[in-house]
Chain A
Amino acid sequence: MPHDHHDHDDYHHEGMSSSGHPYRADNDGPLTYWQRMEIAVRELLVEKSHLIPAQIATQIEVMDARSPANGAAVVARAWIDPDFKARLLADASAASREMGFDIGPLNLIAVENTADAHNLIVCTLCSCYPRNLLGLPPDWYKTREYRSRAVREPRAVLREFGLDLAESVAVRVHDSTADMRYMVLPARPEGTEGLSQEQLASLVTRDSMIGTGLPRQP
């Protein structure tokens, strides 16, 4: 498997993929029981005329095209356009659609970080995540540890992510459901007055929209 190294970003280093994860040779190992089930289910759905292979390939492309960059564009616009920000906080689904992002039937709610309040999102019951805007959730979001502890000791969880919030900052944790998903609107970093919308978007990380991180400093 060819490894395509990207060195333009501090978050990517040698031996890691462009999304900052270690490569693993999933397609090279022995065929597993569950892989056989996936092939069988897919073939049966096609043979019985419920799906055609092109639909499956297209859906994978659609999902691959969704990334935190979409959310970052929404956040950067909210930072420079007060009217858009008001629309985002009123109805994040509609505001995202306005920017051309197809977020399907997802009911998306944006919660704003301020000097006094920090928001964190979790799904304690499963893995609900604003996937139509941000792409698939990181693995840690789906772990027992994050799901269990985020609602009980969010400050301790945030410290594990390198975020040590002052006691004066209130922490609000939002538990997602399949029908209601959240994204965090992080606070715009200090010293970014002269930056373009595109430059601002490059500061917005995935974790800053989950609440486990802050935007990068310019």
Chain B
Amino acid sequence: MSDWDGRRWHDMGGQAAGPVPMEGHDFALWEKRIDALMVLCGQKGLFTVDGLRRAIEDMGEDAFEKYSYYERWIAAVNQNLLEAGIYSLEELATRMDEIAARGPTYAEAQHG
């Protein structure tokens, strides 16, 4: 027997929760770029918003608590692009290593 009520973690409507946190932030460039990549990949037909959501939901509740909104988005964008065969896991890993070697900050890690 399972105690599962039939909902997945993202189906939050009606659950108990605390006060709404009112603090916000202005989006940083890397976050805006992730938003733009999602929109453009959708326009190009590389994957759909449903694909984005499916990947985010499959990350599980732990990821929701642990990672920020656009961190989850880039993980989901990447997952969909890998599945679509746009690039390989090896290409991604190699590139991420190269980027780490470019410099210690986001600005310094840009190409060129």
Contacts and interface: CB of A to CB of B under 8 A. Distances in A.
Select the residue from A19, A37, A43, A142 with max chain B CB neighbours within 10 A.
Answer: A37
A91 to B, nearest CB: 22
Interface residues of A, number: 61
B105 A44 contact: no
A116 interface: no
Contact of B53 (A17, A55, A178): A178
A131 to B, nearest CB: 9
B78 to A, nearest CB: 5
A80 interface: no
B12 A144 contact: yes
A126 B53 contact: yes
Given A26-B30, A36-B109, A149 B99 contact: no
A193 interface: no
A31 B50 CA distance: 29
Interface in B50-86: 50, 53, 56, 64, 67-71, 74-75, 77-78, 81, 86
B103 to A, nearest CB: 7
Contacts of A64: 32
Contact of B50 (A45, A142, A178): A178
Interface string B82-109: 0000110001100110011001111111
Contacts of B21: 139-140, 143, 145
Interface of A: 17, 19-24, 26-45, 48, 50-51, 55-56, 59-60, 63-64, 122, 124-127, 136, 138-140, 142-152, 157, 160-161, 175, 178
B3 interface: no
Nearest to A151: B13
Give the 9 A-B CB pairs with smallest separation, nearest first.
Answer: A124-B13, A26-B28, A59-B36, A148-B17, A40-B95, A139-B24, A148-B15, A34-B71, A145-B17
Contact of A60 (B12, B36, B92): B36
Interface in B1-48: 10-37, 39-41, 44, 46
